[in-house]
Amino acid sequence: MKRPTPERLWAILRREALVQGEMPPRPSASGWYVRILLGVAGWLGALLVLGFLGTLLHSLLRHGSARTSLGVLACGLAVGLFHAGTGSKKAMADQFALALSLAGQVLFLSGVFDPFHGGWQWLVGALFYGVLLALVPDFLHRLWCALILLVILTLWLGNLRMLSLLGGLGTLASLPLWFYSERSPVLDPFLRPLAYGLILGVLGFQGLDFFLLSLGDPGFWTRSLGFSGPSPWASWVPWLSHGLFSLSLWLVVGQVLQREGIPLLAPPGLPWLAVSVLIALLTFPAPGLTLALTLMLLGFAQGNRVLLALGLAAAVASLSHFYYQLHLNLAVKAAVLAGTGLVLLALRQWLATWLPMGKVREGMDHG
C-alpha cells in the first residue's frame, strides 16, 4: 500500500474540518550524518577549550570557591548557547553547550558538594539541577539533570538507611509528570525528559540491585556509599517499598478508568480495582514485577512504545531474577511457573468474557 504524502493528508484533514488554511511549510532538516558530524565537532571544540582553560587556571582550581564560581559561569554560558543556536549550526552549538554544561556541573559539585556527608549540600545540589532543568530547553540535558536529581535522592535515602524506597518513590514521582505531559503540549517538553530520567534511574537501580543479589552480596551498594549500619525501621522498609510500587499501579489503573469514563468506586470499576489489588499482593515477593506492570499499562494507555518496551524488559528481568533466586528444586520451580501462567490466563479470560469495556459502558448507561 502506497503511503499518502503530507499534502494528501493535509487535504483529508481540511475536508474533515479538522484544520484550516494552507499547509504550513515543512521545516528544513539536515541529514542525520550532518548532525552527527556537527555534534562531534561541538564536543571536540568544547573539550579543547576546557582543556586550555584547565591548564591556564590550574592553580586557581585548587580552591573550592573558585571551582564553584567557574562552574556557575560555565553553566550560564551553556544556557546562553542552548538558547542562541539556530538553523544549521544548532546541532553543533547544542553539543558544545552540553559539553560545557557537564564541565560546569563537575566544577560546581566538586566545589560545594559532599556526597556522602551532605545535608544542606544535597539541597543546594537539588536546587542547582532544578534550575538547570528549567532553563535548558534540551531533551538530553533535561534527562541528564533528572538522573542526577535521582542520584541526590539516592544519597539522601541512603543516609536515612532507607535506600530500598528509591524505586517506589521514583516511580510514584514520575506518574504526575506522565499524566500532565499527556494533557499539556506546552509542558510536555519539560515534563517528559524528567519523567524518562526518573524511570530510567529507577530501572537502573533495580537492575543493580538484582545483580548484587545474584552475586550474594546485597549490602555491597550501601557499604560502598558508607551508609551501612543499623536502621530502626529496617523491618518496615520492604513493606513500604512494595506499598509505593502498588500505589503507583493503582494510580495508573485509576487514571485509565477515569479517562474511559468508568467510576473507580462504583460497580463498573470495582472489579478492575480488585484485580490490581490482587496483582499487588501476588507480586510482593517480586516488587520489580509490579514496576514492570505499571510501566506496561502506562505505556499502553498513552501509546508510548518506549515505556511499553521498558516495561516488557523489566518484566522479563524481574521474572528471571525471581526464578533463579527461588530456593527450590527445578520440579517445584516448574510447577510454580506453570501455576502462575494458568492463573494469568484464567484472569485474562475472565476479564475478556465477563468484563469487556462495552459491557462496562452499557452498565454505566443503564445506571
Q: Are the C-beta atoms of 321 and 213 separated by less than 8 Å?
A: yes
CA distance 48 to 46: 5
CA atoms within 13 A on the CB side of 164: 18
CA atoms within 13 A on the CB side of 196: 20
pLDDT at 5 over 60: yes
Question: From the CB of residue 136, how many other CB atoms can be counted at a distance below 10 Å?
Answer: 23
- DSSP 8-class letter at 24: P
**pLDDT tens-digit profile of 79-89?**
888 888 665 56
CA distance 169 to 291: 11
Q: Where do the domains of the chain lie?
A: 32-112
**pLDDT class for 214, splitting at 50, 70, 90?**
low
Question: From the CB of residue 77, how many other CB atoms can be counted at a distance below 10 Å?
Answer: 15
Query: What is the pLDDT at residue 310?
Result: 92
Place of cell 468506586: 265
Q: Are the C-beta atoms of 175 and 252 separated by less than 8 Å?
A: yes
pLDDT at 111 over 80: no
Average pLDDT over residues 157-178: 82
**pLDDT class for 196, splitting at 50, 70, 90?**
very high
Average pLDDT over residues 248-274: 79
Across the chain, mean pLDDT equals: 76
Radius of gyration of the chain (CA): 25
Query: What is the pLDDT at residue 139?
Result: 86
Query: What is the pLDDT at residue 103?
Result: 83
Within its chain, how far is the Cα of 143 from the centroid?
9
Identify the residue with better confidence: 279 or 351.
279
**pLDDT tens-digit profile of 40-75?**
776 677 677 777 777 777 777 777 777 888 888 888
pLDDT at 102 over 80: yes
Query: What is the pLDDT at residue 356?
Result: 52
Amino acid identity, residue 128? Answer: F
Sign of the CA dihedral running 40, 43, 46, 52: negative
Lowest mean pLDDT among 126-130, 276-280, 296-300: 276-280
Q: Are the C-beta atoms of 97 and 144 separated by less than 8 Å?
A: no
Query: What is the pLDDT at residue 220?
Result: 59
The three three-digit cell numbers of residue 295, written as one number: 510501566
CA distance 136 to 62: 29
Q: Is 113 helix (H, G, I), strand (E, B) or coil?
A: coil
Q: Are the C-beta atoms of 294 and 252 separated by less than 8 Å?
A: yes
